[in-house]
Amino acid sequence: MKTIDEAFREFLKEQKRELSPRTYQDYENLISLFEEYLDVCASDDLYEEDQELYKEKQKNEHKEYCQIFDLAYVASSDIEYFLEDYLINDFGGSAAFVEASRCFFRKFLPWAYEKDYLDPEHYSELAEVVGNIRKSGKKTASQAQKFGSLLCDYVDAHPAEESPEWKEGDFEIRRVEPGKLWVEDYLDPYIEIGPVKVSEEVSSLAKAGWYLNFGIVKVGDFWQIVYVEGVSSRCPY
């Protein structure tokens, strides 16, 4: 069975004549980003035996995740998070590049299935995820991106006052009211923190269940935002 990296390279080689130079470059960049993402994130979910193999190959052969494992080790959640969140909120990809990335997977998965690099059940799981993203992911992603942009603009225009009471990290938005957010610390759940002061324009775009990586300080009855590191429509872990 071919490794993830070998399957990607074989697909690119076969498709090169049919792709425009720009699309080919987008696909090369996308593969590089996805492999980097898997190298960092996917190894944490390996079973103990596979973890040992991964560490041994890394140490002795200087190989990474995609040079060791085959496509059976690509989970549907990996593709879903990568396309819906990572490319947009972490990498900051343009709308055109994000759409090209979705097109890549819509072409690659049937190709890999025909080559017997994916079993039928796994192929169906991955294809279903990509299909669902095509229908709804673009709208959700663009909403989160717009919310994050407006939130950063608000924070830049309204510097927080100094205060000894502060918190930082990943927080889930639990409630939204005009000009106010209530959040919950991901590492210290079940305790609602708020209200966090924002503009009504910002709060109008916020959704319960989205995640913020930011720092806040308490000033009087409100929490003020000191900085924003990231906004995500999905749990970052």
We report the CATH number of the domain holding residue 166 as 2.40.50
* Residue 13 or residue 22, greater confidence: 13
Residue 146 falls inside a structural domain: no
Q: Based on the domain organization, do 129 and 222 belong to the same domain?
A: no
Task: Say if residue 31 is in the same domain as residue 57.
Answer: yes
Task: Single out the residue of 177, 178, 153 nearest to residue 231, CA to CA.
Answer: 153
Same domain, 122 and 52: yes
Of 86, 122, 179, 178, the residue nearest 4 (C-alpha): 122
Return left, alpha or beta for 175; rule: phi > 0 is left, psi -120 to 50 is alpha, else beta.
Answer: beta
- Do 77 and 194 lie in one domain? The reply is no
Cα torsion 222, 228, 233, 235: sign: negative
Tokens coding 4 = 């993830």
Asked if 73 and 172 sit in the same domain, the reply is no
In this structure, the answer to whether residues 187 and 86 fall within a common structural domain is: no
Separation of CA 73 from chain center: 18
Answer yes or no: do 136 and 39 share one domain.
Answer: yes
Q: Which domain holds residue 219?
A: 158-232
Question: 23 and 85: one domain?
Answer: yes
Sequence-distant (≥ 6) Cβ neighbours of residue 101 within 8 angstroms: 26, 30, 83, 87, 93
The mean pLDDT of the chain is 87
Kindly report the number of other CB atoms within 10 A of residue 161's CB atom: 11
Distance CA 160, CA 227 (A): 9
**pTM, rounded to two decimals:** 0.60
205/126 same-domain check: no
Question: What is the pLDDT at residue 41?
Answer: 81
Q: Looking at the 3D structure of the chain, how many domains does it have? A: 2
**Is 170 a domain residue?**
yes
pLDDT in tens, 149-185: 899 999 999 999 989 999 998 899 999 999 999 999 9
pLDDT digits (tens, 9 = 90+) for 15-63: 888 888 888 888 999 999 999 989 888 877 888 899 899 899 988 999 9
Boundary (domain end) residue, out of 112, 141, 170: 141
36 and 129 co-located in one domain: yes
Identify the DSSP state of 88: I
> Nearest CA to 141 among 184, 98, 101, 79?
98
Of 90 and 59, the one with more pLDDT: 59
Cα torsion 153, 139, 38, 3 to 10°: value is -150
Say whether both 13 and 87 belong to one domain: yes
Q: Domain for residue 148, yes or no?
A: no
> Cβ distance 46 to 54 under 8 Å?
yes
In a domain, 51, yes or no: yes
Helices (H) then strands (E): counts for the chain: 9, 5
Give a yes or no: residue 150 inside a domain.
no
136 and 168: one domain? no
77-115 b/e (C-beta count within 10 Å ≥ 16 → b): ebbbbbbbbbbbbebebeeebbebbbbbbeebbeebbee
Per-residue pLDDT reduced to its tens digit, 117-155: 999 999 999 988 887 765 444 555 567 778 888 999 999
